[in-house]
Amino acid sequence: MMHDQKANILLVEDDQNLGFVIQDALKRKGFNVHLCRDGKEGLRQFNEHPYDLCVLDVMLPSKDGFSLAEDIRLTNAEVPIVFLTAKSQTEDRIAGFKAGGDDYLTKPFSHEELILRIEAILRRTHGRSEDPRNRERFELGTFTFDHRNLVLSHPTEERKLTKKEAEVLRLLCMHQDQVLPRELVLNMVWGDDTYFLGRSLDVFISRLRKYLKADPSVQIVNVHGVGFKLQVG
């Protein structure tokens, strides 16, 4: 069974009692479970650790479950997502599936049903392509970016990056030729999207542009009012 392989589950539930009960039930079935209390914390944890499945409450502080799922889908199109909600209207279910959900449970539900659904999803999705966030090396024109060792290499020089510089560059690489929203970068790298941190992100983008200027074919383009796009070639 999949849970014998210690599948890692991200559980985001703001109800303290319910969260503990679900976490305990899943752990007793052999899963590794990380419990978060709000959407921003959930996104930060998802970015920092590999998960085999996410269980998201819909009504969450800071960032609701649908928005959290959409952000998760921007970095990982494969990881299964199960929504938990007190709502049962058809439009809410449709919204959940549009946000990238694989299943949907309406409260109250039995823990056994949740476990059975999780096991079924993991059996169905086992063997999907590897989490793209595990990729550590990227070719950018004449540059090679080694995320694990925080090194950006060029035939004429090698530069050691800070951890945050490397995280920002990796997100850009993972979304090459796609618009990467500012809010997503801020939440995944800094855990918040305040104005002050937004100004910090602009500084980091300027630094990365300077580091990459040896190859004019590698460009980080501003998309006004939205975010950034890494273009190569």
- CA-based R_g, the chain, Å: 19
Residue among 147, 158, 163 at smallest CA distance from 211: 158
CATH number of the domain where residue 66 is located: 3.40.50.2300
Backbone angles phi, psi at 85, to 5 degrees: -155, 155
Backbone angles phi, psi at 69, to 5 degrees: -60, -40
152 occurs within a structural domain: no
The residue-averaged pLDDT of 149-168 equals 94
Q: Does the pLDDT of residue 52 top 70, yes or no?
A: yes
Boundary-marking domain end, from 100, 125, 150: 125
135 occurs within a structural domain: no
Residue among 137, 171, 177, 176 at smallest CA distance from 153: 137
Boundary-marking domain end, from 125, 147, 179: 125
Boundary-marking domain end, from 78, 98, 125: 125
> Which of the residue ranges 66-75, 87-96, 152-161, 221-230 would you say has the lowest mean pLDDT?
87-96
106 occurs within a structural domain: yes
- Are residues 168 and 118 located together in one domain of the fold? no
- Are residues 16 and 115 located together in one domain of the fold? yes
- Are residues 117 and 167 located together in one domain of the fold? no
Query: 135 or 156: whose pLDDT is higher?
Result: 156
Please, are residues 25 and 3 in contact by the beta-carbon 8 Å criterion?
no
Domain of 204? 162-232
6 occurs within a structural domain: yes
The residue-averaged pLDDT of 161-172 equals 93
- Are residues 33 and 103 located together in one domain of the fold? yes
pLDDT at 153: 96
- Are residues 116 and 208 located together in one domain of the fold? no
Which amino acid, 124?
Answer: R
> Distance between CA 104 and CA 158 in Å, rounded?
48
The number of domains in the chain is 2
What does the pLDDT look like over 108-148, one tens digit per residue?
899 999 999 999 999 887 755 455 555 778 999 999 999 98
> Distance between CA 17 and CA 23 in Å, rounded?
10
19 occurs within a structural domain: yes
pLDDT at 130: 52
- Report the predicted TM-score, pTM, of the whole model to 2 decimal places: 0.65
